[in-house]
Structure 1
Amino acid sequence: MNILSVITLSTLLGLIAGACARKTDNHTYDRDIYTPRYATGFAIKSNADSVTGILISNPWQGADNVTMTYRAEQPAQRIVAMSSTFVAMLESLGAADRIVGVSGLGFINSPALNARRGEIADVGYDTNIDFEKIVMLNPDLVLLYGVSGPNPAEEKLRELNIPYIYLGDYVEQSPLGKAEWVVAVGEIVGRREQAVELFNSIADNYNALRQSVADSESKPRVMVNAPYNDVWWVPSADNYMAQLIADAGGDYVCGDISGSASQSIDLEEAYMLMSEADIWLNPGQAVTLRQLAAMTPRFTDTRPFTAGNVYNNNLKLSPGGGNDFYESGAMHPDLVLKDLIKLFHPEALGDYDPTFYRRLQ
């Protein structure tokens, strides 16, 4: 059985109290197998017994010295994926057929998974997980993620002795760092070499595209997002979206906001920044300018709106409204970057049609 050791205070107390029936892994993994080039939250190593371990660190926002080790003794064959991004990674490795359950089936875009929709169980999400259904699926691994703390499902999975692993692509700030987690997934399914080759191809494509516009004299000013309850959240300068804008040859208007977490600004400041921008990206759920005008009437006289330079990343939506930008887009930042270059420097890519972005009409 694959074993996960989660070294946190709460888990240690649970082990002492006998709350967790699984054995802990006391081996030292000190022989490098794969050291990520961009990702900061995982490494693949082996121990003295030649057992491979995926070492995970700080897989959710605010985590401090949280470490985990997953013993990848045998490739996982029956997987429950709690994020659509994990589905995209498995599909990219030709392992979508190992998925037996997902969280939010209606939000999944994956063609491979949708072709097997009748065979895939929806196990729920957040605090509404159907653990009875998970038990019936008999998975050998559940792929979890945390947002600002441990996943609510973790405690019950531990109680049921169902193996799980956290994948921390969500908290990586580098676009390529997010995608590099496909190598960890490759180790899980016994396809690490294939995953490394795939990731290297993505990284090479990304870096070639970035270099192609590095010397562009024109750098359009870019504003992102839309207000929510009269508060406008914007990525900080070290956020992956800000990095994508810079790598695509754009000038992010909030680039002086330091840090990696999103920051809130009031509508007055947002209006001033939007008035300085040439392009408006990712304006909520809008698919037309009319919808956007109804959502944000105050911003209809800003330069991006009046010039029609408003683009949203919701070109590919599932029947349930799931956005493929957050599914396969996280796996393919090279395609996201290519889209942004097309928006910022149309002449650079000829007749290329964006994969994720649409121009609001």
Structure 2
Amino acid sequence: LNQEQTLVGFPNTKYISSPKTRSLIKNGAVKELGKEQNINTELLLDLQPDLVIGFSLNSNNKMFTNIEKAGIPVILNGDWLEKTPLGRAEWIKFFGVLFNKEKQADSLFNHIEKEYLQAKKIALKAINKPKILSGAMYQDKWNLPAGDSYAAQFLKDANVNYPWLNSKGKGSLSLSFESVFDKAKDAQIWLSPSFFNSYKQLSESSIHYTQFDAFKSKKVYNFVNKKGETGGVLYYELAPIQPHIVLKDIIKIVHPELLKNYTPIYLEELN
């Protein structure tokens, strides 16, 4: 919506990759506020913003209460709670209302929705549905998208065989390696193996990863390789408002014959 100039402070500014906003950060127009759940409230109050937009894992957040007591209104952004890709993208309308740009926000979302639904329709033409593995180990558990989650919706709309698509839960499943290996050893494609960006990293982290067919055939893909100048992962910054691009990226990998002239924006094979 071209409202970068309204931003005066942000936590973890190194994760902002937008060239326009990075210029504002370098010029001192956007101040570093620390970490999300423990921001520098003294600096924030000195900035005297008209509004603070935050997010909270629970409603009992003393930081936001103190900001409101100082006379600065707080609105919590709940886009991350949406369980569908289009649901998250629709939050652009929330910012359209804030900046009196409802028509522009509605137009942008309508375009996103149209492109997404067209891609979903294309995916239905697939003759074969490859089996997909997702996630990776954290400590002794394998974390992967639950069946009702945001990430699983992408896989459903891409028309693939995801063994956990009918599982319950809106977040992640924490499973044993053995149960994942039993269901997905023969998966043709492995998507989003945590933050690993190379086959070398995967194999060095755990020799077990090399036992999957997708690893052996070099069919492992991730969204995290493209970064901004200060290390921000572009996928995490931009994908929530570009679900149509994410879906096309996935379709290109799992059904390459359906999008012959398309080049993925975020999803890349591991190095």
TM (norm. structure 1) is 0.71
Q: Decide whether aligned partners of structure 1 residues 233 and 140 sit closer, same or farther in structure 2, where only a CA change above 3 A counts.
A: same
Tell me if structure 2 keeps the 8 A contact 1:288–1:360: yes
Partner of 1:298: 208
Seq. identity, %: 32
- AA aligned to 1:208 is Q
What is the correspondence of 1:52-201 to structure 2 with a 5 Å cutoff?
Answer: 93-118=1-26, 119-201=29-111
- AA aligned to 2:145 is P
- AA aligned to 2:23 is A
* Higher RCO structure (Cα 8 Å, ≥6 apart): 2
1:336 aligns with 2:246: yes
Partner of 1:74: none
Residue 127 of structure 1: CA displacement?
Answer: 4.1
Deviates more, 1:174-183 or 1:93-102: 93-102
What is the correspondence of 1:342-357 to structure 2 with a 5 Å cutoff?
Answer: 342-357=252-267
Residue 294 of structure 1: CA displacement?
Answer: 1.1
1:229 aligns with 2:143: no
- Specify every segment of 5 or more residues in structure 2 that has no aligned partner in the other structure, as ranges: none
Q: Decide whether aligned partners of structure 1 residues 319 and 229 sit closer, same or farther in structure 2, where only a CA change above 3 A counts.
A: farther
1:316 aligns with 2:226: yes
Tell me if structure 2 keeps the 8 A contact 1:145–1:151: no
CA distance in 1, matches of 2:84, 2:37: 29
- AA aligned to 2:218 is G
Deviations 1:28-63 (A, max 9, x none): xxxxxxxxxxxxxxxxxxxxxxxxxxxxxxxxxxxx
Runs of 4+ in 1 over 4 A off after TM superposition: 148-152
Residue 121 of structure 1: CA displacement?
Answer: 0.7
CA distance in 1, matches of 2:211, 2:63: 46
CA distance in 2, matches of 1:149, 1:266: 32
Tell me if structure 2 keeps the 8 A contact 1:236–1:255: yes
Partner of 2:159: 249
Q: Decide whether aligned partners of structure 1 residues 321 and 151 sit closer, same or farther in structure 2, where only a CA change above 3 A counts.
A: farther
- Specify every segment of 5 or more residues in structure 1 that has no aligned partner in the other structure, as ranges: 1-92
Deviations 1:128-153 (A, max 9, x none): 31112111211101111122444452
- What number of residue pairs does the alignment pair up? 269
Secondary structure, in 3 states, of the residue corresponding to 1:276?
A: coil
Partner of 1:42: none
Deviations 1:148-193 (A, max 9, x none): 4444521221222211101110010010000000001110111111
Q: Decide whether aligned partners of structure 1 residues 183 and 283 sit closer, same or farther in structure 2, where only a CA change above 3 A counts.
A: same
Q: Indicate the RMSD between aligned Cα atoms, in angstroms.
A: 1.5
Secondary structure, in 3 states, of the residue corresponding to 2:185?
A: helix
Residue 335 of structure 1: CA displacement?
Answer: 0.6
Tell me if structure 2 keeps the 8 A contact 1:103–1:122: yes
CA distance in 2, matches of 1:107, 1:226: 23
Q: Decide whether aligned partners of structure 1 residues 239 and 127 sit closer, same or farther in structure 2, where only a CA change above 3 A counts.
A: closer
CA distance in 1, matches of 2:85, 2:190: 20
Q: Decide whether aligned partners of structure 1 residues 320 and 153 sit closer, same or farther in structure 2, where only a CA change above 3 A counts.
A: farther
Bigger Rg over Cα: 1
TM (norm. structure 2) is 0.94
Tell me if structure 1 keeps the 8 A contact 2:124–2:159: yes
Tell me if structure 2 keeps the 8 A contact 1:103–1:124: yes
Residue 122 of structure 1: CA displacement?
Answer: 1.1
Secondary structure, in 3 states, of the residue corresponding to 1:263?
A: strand
CA distance in 2, matches of 1:243, 1:202: 16
Deviations 1:77-111 (A, max 9, x none): xxxxxxxxxxxxxxxx1111211111110011222
Residue 313 of structure 1: CA displacement?
Answer: 0.6
- AA aligned to 2:219 is N
